[in-house]
Chains A and B, each alone.
Chain A
Amino acid sequence: MKYLTEFRNGEIAQRIAREIHSVATRPWKIMEVCGGQTHSIIKNGIDQMLPAGIEMIHGPGCPVCVTPLELIDKALAIAAQPGLIFCSFGDMLRVPGTDADLFQIKGAGGDVRVVYSPLDAVDLAAKNPGKQVVFFGVGFETTAPANAMSVHVAKRRGLKNFSLLVSHVLVPPAIAAILESPGNKVQAFLLAGHVNSVMGYWEYPPVAEKYKIPLVVTGFEPLDLLDGIRRAVMQLEAGTHEVENAYERIVTFDGNQHAQKMLAEVFEVTDRAWRGIGVIPRSGWRLSEAYREFDAEDRFHITGIHTQESALCRAGDVLRGAIKPAECAAFGKECTPRHPLGATMVSSEGACAAYYNYGRFLSAEQLATAGSALTHA
């Protein structure tokens, strides 16, 4: 906690927080898109440094969280097949499907491997020509270039035993869906900086213009987040709706053109179901026609999966900002990180898991009071 104290008492953090306090005249609701940002905000108590009326709403940008339960079950069914190597990033190991998780599948004899890079899975396919190798490709635009390259390389190397179980999701359609949802409360967005390191921010000016909403490209470090919030509040107070870049040391307007070219070749836009939200039109990527033969869903034809989400879970309300995690009756009782009922508890980047892990069991009103007391202390 030494780091937390140092950050909060630091001269720059205090100066930015003071500036936010001095310009804020009204309550505003700002959504940080990315789960990594949610984690950082809660861990560092950034929301508690803000004026009482400035509320951070935690967005759907946790790819593990929004992966549909049905796809998790498909992954588990594929991973359990004999003579097959199932590769994933480590954060998927403990995400529960209907009957098990990947960790348990391995314990029961399934060949599940955690890789650092999707290219490691391609190498496994080359070294094990007698086995099917499947990579679970989940993520936003940040992770997509890596997954796209893995398929591209597998095709070039003629590896018929490699495939991708793909569930890529995209930030701009999710923002549009949130803004168009009935009862939306979000008035500004902090964009996910590392998504923009790949995609740039050329896609966003039409979004800002259409919905008259400030969008601030923001980093992940505590000071980056405070600065992103400061810029969003200044725009809200001034009544402007620009796309602003508060992460210039990493993000350019155009983004990484080499990566975008590969993405355009390997993927095509498709409708995607988001756990806790539902289907959002044109909100994800699937393999394009030229690469469809590498689609694990087509290759393994898993059928007969019936999933049912918990009736207690209010992840959808949390993701829309309608409630804070602690306002859900199941939070910390039936639903914990060890026993998650829904999207926002399944990964440490989910809003409910972040609140649980950092001991945020207070209601929104109590939090606001505590936040104001802390800042003025």
Chain B
Amino acid sequence: MCLAIPGKVVGVAEESGLRMGRVDFGGVVKRVCLDYVPDVVVGDYTIVHVGFALSKIDEAEALRTLEVFRQMGVLEDEFLDGEEAFARAALEPQSNCPDGSCTRETVKNAVN
């Protein structure tokens, strides 16, 4: 939850009054807000948490850390969004009702 992942800034553009960048995390490119790191420019490495760059980091350190996080298997969780996140959650059920049978009615009632 609190992991910040290092990546390389490969593009910067102004969007709705924010300084937004495209950051490459070893192949996965995400849209990242650079407002909190005004000195970071294209080519720099920065650590990013939930779409926000938090500080600049040395290139060698960034590449090494990224590799360690990749080997620890934490990168997928950090970048998953949209329907893929639901697909993953479906594979790893965690619920107050393990087989899903007990709450189906309650949930329907909650929605209706």
How many of chain A's residues have a CB under 8 angstroms from any CB in B? 74
| Chain B residue nearest to A338 in the complex (CB) | B98
Q: Mark A248-261, 1 if CB is under 8 A from B, else 0.
A: 01101000101100
CA distance A113 to B108 in the complex (A): 18
Q: A90-B85, A90-B88 are in contact. Are A116 and B50 (CB under 8 A)?
A: yes
Q: In the complex where A90-B81, A143-B1, A340-B94 touch, is A250 in contact with B50 (Cβ < 8 A)?
A: no
Q: Is the CB of A259 within 8 A of B36?
A: yes
* The stretch of A45-53, A56-64, A182-190, A321-329 that contacts the partner chain: A56-64
Q: Which of chain B's residues have a CB closer than 8 A to the CB of A61?
A: 2
Given contacts A101-B95, A108-B108, A256-B36, contact A142 B88 (CB under 8 A): no
Q: How many residues of B contact A (CB 8 A)?
A: 55
Q: Given contacts A139-B1, A256-B55, is CB(A105)–CB(B111) below 8 Å?
A: yes
List, in ascending order, chain B residues with CB within 8 A of A339's CB: 95-98
Asked whether, in the complex, the Cβ of A105 is within 8 Å of the Cβ of B35, the reply is: no
Question: In the complex, are the beta carbons of A36 and B3 less than 8 A apart?
Answer: yes
Which residue in B65, B108, B111 is a CB contact (below 8 Å) of A221?
Answer: B65
A252 — which chain B residues lie within 8 A by C-beta? Answer: 55
On chain B, the residues within 8 Å of A94 by CB distance are: 89, 92-95
Known A-B contacts A80-B111, A117-B51, A262-B36; the reply to A101 vs B96 at CB < 8 A is: yes
The reply on A76 being an interface residue by CB < 8 A is yes
Residues of chain A contacted by B92 (CB below 8 angstroms): 94
Instruction: Check A104–B103 contact: CB distance below 8 A.
Output: yes
CB distance from A120 to the nearest CB of B (A): 7
Please tell me if the beta carbons of B54 and A197 are within 8 angstroms of each other in the complex.
yes
A338 touches B94 (CB 8 A): yes
Instruction: Tell me whether B35 and A120 are in contact (CB under 8 A).
Output: no
What's the least CB distance linking B94 to chain A, in Å? 4
Task: Say yes or no: B72 contacts A40, CB within 8 Å.
Answer: yes
Please, which residues of chain A bring their CB within 8 A of the CB of B111? 80, 82, 105, 108-110
Chain B residues contacting A208 (CB-CB under 8 Å) are: none
Closest chain B residue to A82, Cβ basis = B111
How far is the CB of A61 from the nearest CB of chain B, in Å? 7
Q: Kindly state whether residue B58 has any CB partner on chain A within 8 Å.
A: yes
Cβ of A77 under 8 Å from chain B: yes
Is A115 at the interface (CB under 8 A from chain B)?
yes
Cross-chain contact B81 with A114 (CB below 8 angstroms): yes
Nearest chain B CB to A274 CB, angstrom units? 15
Contact assessment for A100 and B47 in the assembled complex, using a CB-CB cutoff below 8 Å: no
Given the complex, which residues of A lie within 8 Å of B36, measured CB to CB?
145, 149, 256, 258-259, 262
Separation of A262 and B38 alpha carbons in the complex (Å): 14
**A104-B107, A143-B50 known; A338 vs B95 contact (CB < 8 Å):** yes
Give residues of chain A (224-281) contacting chain B, Cβ–Cβ below 8 Å.
Answer: 249-250, 252, 256, 258-259, 262
A100 contacts B93, C-beta separation under 8 Å: no
Q: Are B107 and A107 in contact (CB under 8 A)?
A: yes
- Complex Cα–Cα for A156 and B49 (A): 23
Max chain B C-beta neighbours (<10 A), residue from A221, A222, A252, A262: A221
Nearest neighbor of B18 in chain A, beta-carbon distance: A153
Given known A77-B110, A80-B111, contact A3–B71 (CB-CB < 8 A): yes
Q: A89-B50, A90-B88, A99-B110 are in contact. List 17 more A-B contacts (CB 8 A).
A: A36-B1, A36-B2, A76-B110, A80-B110, A94-B94, A94-B95, A103-B89, A105-B111, A109-B111, A113-B82, A114-B81, A145-B36, A146-B33, A221-B69, A256-B55, A340-B96, A349-B1
Between-chain CB contacts (< 8 Å), 9 pairs: A36-B1, A64-B1, A93-B85, A113-B82, A139-B2, A142-B2, A194-B47, A194-B54, A197-B47
Instruction: Give the top 10 A-B pairs by smallest Cβ distance, nearest first.
Output: A117-B51, A96-B96, A94-B94, A114-B85, A90-B85, A116-B81, A108-B107, A93-B89, A142-B2, A146-B52
Residues in chain B within 8 A of chain A (CB atoms): 1-4, 16-18, 30-33, 35-38, 47, 49-52, 54-55, 57-58, 61, 65, 68-69, 71-72, 77, 79-82, 85-86, 88-90, 92-98, 100, 103-104, 106-108, 110-111
